[in-house]
Chains A and B, each alone.
Chain A
Amino acid sequence: DIVMTQSPDSLAVSLGERATINCKSSPSVLSSSNNKNFLAWYQHKPGQPPKLLIYWASTRESGVPERFSGSGSGTDFTLTINSLQAEDVAVYYCQQYYSSPYTFGQGTTLEIK
């Protein structure tokens, strides 16, 4: 199974500042057939279902604000939230969709400082 590990488990960032969440996969989720990383990021707010933010490691889902961006390749990935807004408070998960079982990271809780 592919193991997904996020860091940190939680972080507090001031409004308007940048938040950075990391995700490591073991092994790699980079496909040699299409040179794409099978890595997604989700935002999960209390009382709501999760929401897809990023797929292919760096492609923003339609309607997702530009302040959300994804980067990385192979085994190391980053979700960056620029100019943090109050509505960004949530738990963020990475997930690999490279091979079954389609494992999630343990989640990172983002709060306002």
Chain B
Amino acid sequence: QMQLVESGGGVVQPGRSLRLSCAASGFAFSSYGMHWVRQAPGKGLEWVAVISNDGSNIYYADSVKGRFTISRDNSKNTLFLQMNSLRDEDTAVYYCAKDSPTWLHLIDYWGQGTLVTVSS
């Protein structure tokens, strides 16, 4: 069955970097766009970034543009989020999520999430 498993979360100091990974299985990863969505403690969902199936189209939320980079390795069925210049407000559970067929930018499946804590 379909699975998305995030990893790479942890505690990091402000200004430092962290790289999240999301291992996909149970579907044709290279055929689908992929998203990152986050949820800060006690807050709602915030969309972060999306990448098309071949990596040719990428969009970011303004709050992370210039600091975060979404990428993918279709040969390894893995999605990444490189997070640089981390701030306290980046503390959140980060979810990897699958886009719907035909690149609608509709999220139809989510991973369990990984917690990133930015703190000195």
Q: Which residues of A are interface residues toward B (Cβ below 8 A)?
A: 1, 38, 40, 42, 44, 48-52, 55, 61, 91, 93, 95, 97, 100-107
Contact = CB atoms under 8 A, between A and B. Distances in A.
B45 A107 contact: yes
Contact of B111 (A42, A49, A91, A95): A49
A32 to B, nearest CB: 16
Contact of A61 (B35, B50, B105, B108): B108
Contacts of B44: 91, 93, 104-107
A44 B95 CA distance: 12
B50 A52 contact: no
A50 B45 contact: yes
Interface in B43-102: 44-47, 50, 59-62, 95, 100
B13 interface: no
Nearest to A61: B108
